[in-house]
Amino acid sequence: MMLLQAIPPVPPRPPSEMFDPNLVLTTGEAPAVVMIVVAVMIALTVVLWPLARALARRLEGRGAADPALRAEVEQLQHRLGEVDAMQGRLAELEERLDFTERLLAQSREPDRLQS
């Protein structure tokens, strides 16, 4: 009988031995990769810079306001001041009317008592 001799299994190699990070830089593609990364960063900066500035202005509350809108707001504030003044005058007139009604009511009561 022939005995088969068992071959011991070979353990797998760790990933660090399978991939050499230096191979990326030695292939000659490194300058192209760096140029692509720099170009993408410049493109993103050019595109996102105005958006970032607009967002900053909005957060500061210093955004460019429409002159027509500003004029309308000032007009409404002026009208609101006028309404406040009218409310004060109306309250004063109500007090005067109440006082007059009380005087008239007092002057009529003695007439009723004499009859």
The predicted-structure confidence for 41-61, as pLDDT tens digits, reads as follows: 999 999 999 999 989 888 887
User: Given a cut of 60, is residue 115 above it in pLDDT?
Assistant: no
Mean pLDDT of all residues in 86-106: 94
Q: pTM above 0.85?
A: no
Q: Three-state SS for 61?
A: coil
Alpha helices for 27-66 (secondary structure H): 30-60
**Torsion angle in degrees (nearest 10) through CA of 43, 45, 48, 50:** -110
- The predicted structure's pLDDT at residue 101: 93
User: Given a cut of 60, is residue 25 above it in pLDDT?
Assistant: no
Q: How far apart are CA 58 and CA 76, in angstroms?
A: 24
